A and B are shown apart, each in its own frame.
Chain A
Amino acid sequence: MSRLPVAERHTVRRALRDLIGRHRRAVGVVLVLHSAAAVAGLAPPWLLGTIVDRVTAGASVATVDRLALAIGGCVLVSALLSRYAQYAGHRFGERAVAELREEFVARTLGLPVSVVERAGSGDLATRSSVDVSTVGTTVRDVVPTIVIASVQLTLLFGAVFLLHPLLGLAALAGLPSILAVTRWYLRRASSAYLTEGAAAAELTETLTTTAEGARTVEALRLADDRIQHGTTRIARVWRARRATLALRTVFFSVVEASYPLPIAIVLLVGGYLLSRDMVSLGAVIAAALYLQQAIEPLDRLLQWTEQAQRGLASFARVLGVGLVPPEPPGTTAESRGERLVVRQARFAYAGGHDVLHGIDLEVRPGERLAVVGPSGAGKSTLARLLAGIDAPRRGVVSIGGCPVTDLDPAERRRRIALVTQEHHVFIGSVRDNLAFAAPDATDEQMRSALATVGADWYADLPDGLDTALGDGARQLGAAEAQQLALARLVLADPHTLILDEATAALDPTTARRTERALAAVLVGRTVIAIAHRLNTAHDADRVAVLADGRITEIGSHDDLVAAGGAYAALWHSWHAHAHADERPR
């Protein structure tokens, strides 16, 4: 499996610059408002210092009243400003997140299927859920918190400088130990927390799957095995949590022990300056209070930095999806005719040896061809080549004289549809699930398509075409889901259908119902059926037997039975009763 790429650091940096550049004004407004709010927030300690000075100087009650009122006023102004700052920041965050996620989905939809399959859909699923929402939280919550905390800290330390430059320098002298331990912590934290999260998720998964498979646990007497398995998971969670705790122990104890340092140094230096009458008592008190006040934003900044780091890592993975070249638009949209021709096609999956060795095949329009053969013979690979999902390594697969992979993907899908045993009901209404195959279809056409495939359950739906399907709404059974997929095909109306074991994953009863529905769809189309039941082969116009990546036999059912080869042997064993030529009714 070749994994999806992850963006390099400079790509991430450029993307961030672009993002801020696009929202230049919003970012500017947010910064200005937050700074103003923080300035207003600086006033109370300064005013308290002033009160101290005035009281020491023997001020009147009226002066104190005025100053106290000013403190209250500053609190209100600061709260108002920070409200608007926050709102502006929030809007910026929302917009940026919306842009990112929409772009991600657009990119995802443009990915060539072969790339997704090779990387495993799990990776992409994680990026679409975990990483996109991590980036979302980061942009929406973490970045504003960090911006606010940084602005506040800058201003608080700036204020101490304003009170007296030497006090400012003294305040900064308390910071090196905090910076050092933060660096140390950040280098280790992300991976430790990711390990912890993964261990916890594994434990939950163990509990959930054990519950889901409870009957199997009982049947195969796996209880002790499951308990042992779960116990090791619990131990792993415990270990992971101890590891993060150890990191926090070092980090927090150093950081917290460091918080009083700037205050202590400022008081000492303040005492010295005071003795020289270079500052007022009020100024020293204000400086000490500013630094006391700085602890909270500093704490916030440190705690969220780790999150921000994780956000960046997720961002790199989200951007990585955009690095995959999208599916090429195809060189021709035109092709004449519907004749599928395969000439000397060879194919190998990345890094492997050939699974198809020079296939020659011609499918006439309207013909029904069955492809049979043992597992691993290359049937599904052939289906993918015919549908244009993969291109042959050598040789050519063409339709109407034009290589299928040169067709515009949209056009190709309109002409050739591949139906596999995988069916997927999209979250949304029944209409949503049908319309994407044929955007212009009317409700009437949709209803008749459902009727064509025998989806009689449709009549029971409370809201008809508007009934919501999927997660938390109405769940379709396997057969119903496959019927829905078939109705989609009726609407899409491709001239060629490739069925790759379309009913194999269903239980026999369901398969029977689905095959009945399928029959309705096949009418009037070229059909290539990868057959799993021999009756499908029996009823086809021609049968191709695939073995070890080669077509070993091809011809009508009767011809092949008469030829007495491998197909005939299989047919007889399947028929295994006295009169092989007597057709069962």
Chain B
Amino acid sequence: MRYLWWLVRRQPWRVLRGSLIGTAWMVGLSLRPYLIARAVDDGLRGRDTRALALWVGAIVVAGAGLSYLGIMRHRTMTFIREDAKARSAAVVLRQVSRVGAVLPRRAAAGEVATIGGSDIDWSAQVLTLTGPGVGAVVAYAIIAVLLWSISPMLALCVLVGVPAVALVVGPLLRRLERAESVYRKQQGALTARSGDIVAGLRVLAGVGGRDLFARRYAARSQDLLAEGYRVGAVNSWIDAATVAIPGLFLAAVVWLTARMAVTGDVTIGELVAVYGYVATLIVPVWFLLEGSYQLIRGRVAARRIVALLNLSPDDVGGPGRRGPNAVPDARRPDVGAAPDGPADLHDPATGLTVRAGRLTGVAADDPAAALALADRLGRYVASDCTWGGTPLTGIALDEIRARILVADHDSYLFAGTLRDILLPRPEAHDDARPEAHDDRIHAALRAASAEDVVDALPAGLDTVIDARARSLSGGQRQRVRLARALLAEPQVLILVDPTSAVDAHTEARIAERLRAARAGLTTVVLATSPLLLSRADVVAHLAEGRIVATGTHPDLLDEDPGYRHLVARDSDPAVERSAVAEGVHP
């Protein structure tokens, strides 16, 4: 509720204007029945052409005025809602951008999609109440006064009757919506199925089974058809009731008024006006009813938005972020704790020491242990790791993020041109000329052996790639990730399984070029591939949570049988061999 109020307070003048115009419009709606009644009474019945022309002119002018008010109301309210939506989107955007690694664990991406797709809209919708909502109350009061002047008895009937009808019809419409929502859900499931078939078309082309899928889809479609018939049978009754109930009420009011006309208590013109008022009164009453439902939904939506905004970053120990607007600056003089230049990283948990300026390979028997190691070295968790003797937790997190990069093997690729993906912050580099950027990009692509990825794209670096780079193959994605990590040029680069999806030819090239690209810089490669490890300055063997051996790749191959077993085969040789042995041999 406080959030919704905040959205209102951000635009007080606009909201005030919305209320005024909304009120004027609603009141104006009741004008037409009155004018028609006068035209009938004074003009037609009195056979007075001038009076008729006057009142007809008034009807046209009032129509134009009303249409002006109507559209101004719509415009103002649209701006109020859009302002609220844009504001909500902006705060949500800031939050999801800043909160960091905690987000995927604490909130499902689907939740953010719901917030972005509908919650923001729902909470903005509530603001409609500020315009026509206020107007509806005023209009209701004015019609009450007008009716009262015709006949207090009629006024009572109408003023109580219309809301009563709305209260009867409203819930019926809700039921309609619910019945529809069951149908829509089933329809959504069927749509998902056809999407599923499209997504799996290549699989079906590979092994067959198309007829079966067509039949199965048709069966589901017929189920939906049956559900549709059922929903239709119920809904058409509800629909009929929502038309019949107000209609019958109107008939009753006409009847009462007509009897009064016979006795001369009301004029013929007033008879027509009452007919019009009843129809007009439906509008404000309806607005209020709708508004109350919107308020309920909007509050739920606002609560979800606020829950997301209240998420706080992970506790990684030590001083946290410097606040949402801090500009990360690697070389701020007041952060004295961090090493000034390249320094050794040490992880007491495993006993690993990463020498500054060297290429270190870590072969872990358990991939989970490798990931945990990367998390500790990059301070994604609190740990006892030190950097140049200083505990990582004692260094400003921004500084660590600026200087140590953990490149996960499944790190996320955002949508955009390949150039933007590779070099998202070109201004961060010293040489800001565009040609310099392209040179840098080409150098990184070469190091990652990813030139062919660019060559295969229709517009090269300017080709727009969708999120997760789904249009690229697994190997291409991996090389793009590697190139991006290299382009970030961190002092310490920790690569997790950087070549698991590329073929041996390419892997050999990458191993060679990676070394050159990171010459003089600290690099850690967590992998078990002999092609990569053989290029490392030093290799550490991580077994059962501890570093059990350190040395060059050939040394370890000779001296550490566990290491030999681990790296000599990326997959299990025994199984491969047996498969061939059992195969048909010439």
With A106-B214, A421-B474, A470-B196 known as contacts, the answer to whether A91 contacts B258 (CB < 8 A) is no
- Is the C-beta of A533 less than 8 angstroms from some C-beta in chain B? yes
The reply to whether A87 and B236 contact each other, CB–CB distance below 8 Å, is yes
| Among all A-B residue pairs, the 9 with the closest Cβ atoms | A436-B209, A213-B412, A584-B568, A366-B584, A505-B474, A260-B63, A68-B255, A90-B232, A519-B579
CB neighbours (8 Å) of B236 from chain A are 83-84, 86-87, 90
CB neighbours (8 Å) of A573 from chain B are 508, 531, 534
The reply to whether B500 and A507 contact each other, CB–CB distance below 8 Å, is yes
Identify which of B43, B206, B224 contacts A420 (C-beta below 8 A). B206
Compute how far the CA of A505 lies from the CA of B19 in the bound complex, rounded to whole angstroms: 58
Compute how far the CA of A549 lies from the CA of B357 in the bound complex, rounded to whole angstroms: 41
Give 9 new A-B contacts, CB below 8 A, not counting A113-B205, A208-B113. A76-B244, A90-B232, A207-B116, A211-B112, A260-B59, A263-B36, A267-B52, A421-B474, A426-B200
- Is the C-beta of B433 less than 8 angstroms from some C-beta in chain A? no
Stretch at the interface among A185-193, A368-376, A394-402: A368-376
The reply to whether B259 and A508 contact each other, CB–CB distance below 8 Å, is no
Identify which of B45, B53, B271, B504 contacts A532 (C-beta below 8 A). B504
Stretch at the interface among B6-14, B90-98, B294-302, B344-352: B90-98
The reply to whether A109 and B68 contact each other, CB–CB distance below 8 Å, is no
- Is the C-beta of A95 less than 8 angstroms from some C-beta in chain B? yes
With A271-B43, A285-B40, A420-B206 known as contacts, the answer to whether A245 contacts B75 (CB < 8 A) is yes
CB neighbours (8 Å) of A524 from chain B are 582-584
Chain A 135-175 against B: per-residue CB contact (8 Å), 1 yes, 0 no?
01000100000000000000000000000000000000000
- Is the C-beta of A110 less than 8 angstroms from some C-beta in chain B? yes
The reply to whether B59 and A263 contact each other, CB–CB distance below 8 Å, is yes
CB neighbours (8 Å) of B89 from chain A are 203, 207, 230, 234, 237
- Is the C-beta of A581 less than 8 angstroms from some C-beta in chain B? no
Compute how far the CA of A533 lies from the CA of B475 in the bound complex, rounded to whole angstroms: 13
Compute how far the CA of A218 lies from the CA of B68 in the bound complex, rounded to whole angstroms: 50
Q: Which B403-443 residues sit within 8 Å CB-CB of chain A?
A: 405-416, 424-425
Compute how far the CA of A221 lies from the CA of B101 in the bound complex, rounded to whole angstroms: 11
Q: Which A517-568 residues sit within 8 Å CB-CB of chain B?
A: 518-520, 522-525, 527, 531-536, 539-541
The reply to whether A267 and B43 contact each other, CB–CB distance below 8 Å, is yes
- Is the C-beta of B392 less than 8 angstroms from some C-beta in chain A? no
The reply to whether B63 and A436 contact each other, CB–CB distance below 8 Å, is no
Min CB–CB distance A499 → chain B (angstroms) = 11
The reply to whether A256 and B570 contact each other, CB–CB distance below 8 Å, is no
- Is the C-beta of B17 less than 8 angstroms from some C-beta in chain A? no
CB neighbours (8 Å) of A210 from chain B are 93, 96-97, 414
The reply to whether A90 and B407 contact each other, CB–CB distance below 8 Å, is no
Identify which of A59, A84, A375 contacts B262 (C-beta below 8 A). A59
Compute how far the CA of A419 lies from the CA of B207 in the bound complex, rounded to whole angstroms: 9
What's the A-B contact tally at a CB cutoff of 8 Å?
558
- Considering the complex, give the chain B residue whose CB is closest to the CB of A47: B254
CB neighbours (8 Å) of B241 from chain A are 79
Residue contacts A-B, CB under 8 angstroms, 18 given: A65-B255, A78-B243, A79-B244, A86-B240, A210-B414, A213-B412, A215-B100, A216-B411, A219-B411, A234-B89, A237-B85, A267-B59, A270-B44, A424-B202, A427-B196, A437-B207, A494-B207, A506-B500
With A208-B112, A274-B47 known as contacts, the answer to whether A102 contacts B500 (CB < 8 A) is no
Identify which of A84, A214, A260 contacts B103 (C-beta below 8 A). A214
The reply to whether B199 and A256 contact each other, CB–CB distance below 8 Å, is no
The reply to whether B96 and A257 contact each other, CB–CB distance below 8 Å, is no
With A136-B187, A226-B93, A422-B203 known as contacts, the answer to whether A540 contacts B580 (CB < 8 A) is yes
Min CB–CB distance A194 → chain B (angstroms) = 17
Identify which of B44, B201, B232, B456 contacts A108 (C-beta below 8 A). B201
Identify which of B103, B202, B572 contacts A512 (C-beta below 8 A). B572
Min CB–CB distance A232 → chain B (angstroms) = 11
- Is the C-beta of B229 less than 8 angstroms from some C-beta in chain A? yes
Stretch at the interface among A9-17, A124-132, A308-316: A124-132
Stretch at the interface among A21-29, A329-337, A409-417, A459-467: A409-417
- Considering the complex, give the chain B residue whose CB is closest to the CB of A374: B505
Compute how far the CA of A473 lies from the CA of B468 in the bound complex, rounded to whole angstroms: 23
Min CB–CB distance A478 → chain B (angstroms) = 10
The reply to whether A221 and B328 contact each other, CB–CB distance below 8 Å, is yes
The reply to whether B192 and A67 contact each other, CB–CB distance below 8 Å, is no
With A44-B251, A209-B415 known as contacts, the answer to whether A435 contacts B86 (CB < 8 A) is no
The reply to whether B209 and A570 contact each other, CB–CB distance below 8 Å, is no
Q: Which B200-253 residues sit within 8 Å CB-CB of chain A?
A: 200-214, 216-218, 221-222, 224-225, 228-229, 232-233, 235-237, 239-241, 243-244, 247-248, 250-252
CB neighbours (8 Å) of A577 from chain B are 530, 534, 553-554, 557-558
- Is the C-beta of A248 less than 8 angstroms from some C-beta in chain B? yes
The reply to whether B101 and A214 contact each other, CB–CB distance below 8 Å, is yes
Stretch at the interface among A339-347, A444-452, A484-492: A484-492
With A234-B86, A267-B52, A504-B501 known as contacts, the answer to whether A128 contacts B203 (CB < 8 A) is no
Compute how far the CA of A125 lies from the CA of B96 in the bound complex, rounded to whole angstroms: 28
Min CB–CB distance A303 → chain B (angstroms) = 13
CB neighbours (8 Å) of A255 from chain B are 67
Compute how far the CA of A98 lies from the CA of B224 in the bound complex, rounded to whole angstroms: 8
The reply to whether B203 and A214 contact each other, CB–CB distance below 8 Å, is no
The reply to whether B504 and A225 contact each other, CB–CB distance below 8 Å, is no
Chain A 275-286 against B: per-residue CB contact (8 Å), 1 yes, 0 no?
100000100110
- Is the C-beta of B332 less than 8 angstroms from some C-beta in chain A? no
Chain B 354-368 against A: per-residue CB contact (8 Å), 1 yes, 0 no?
000000000000010
With A113-B205, A268-B56 known as contacts, the answer to whether A98 contacts B501 (CB < 8 A) is no
Compute how far the CA of A531 lies from the CA of B194 in the bound complex, rounded to whole angstroms: 33
The reply to whether B197 and A105 contact each other, CB–CB distance below 8 Å, is yes
Q: Which A68-114 residues sit within 8 Å CB-CB of chain B?
A: 68-69, 71-72, 75-76, 78-80, 82-84, 86-87, 90-91, 94-95, 97-98, 101-102, 104-106, 108-111, 113
Compute how far the CA of A214 lies from the CA of B192 in the bound complex, rounded to whole angstroms: 27
Compute how far the CA of A238 lies from the CA of B416 in the bound complex, rounded to whole angstroms: 21
- Is the C-beta of A249 less than 8 angstroms from some C-beta in chain B? yes
The reply to whether B68 and A284 contact each other, CB–CB distance below 8 Å, is no
- Is the C-beta of B178 less than 8 angstroms from some C-beta in chain A? no
CB neighbours (8 Å) of A289 from chain B are 272, 275
Identify which of A292, A372, A437 contacts B504 (C-beta below 8 A). A372
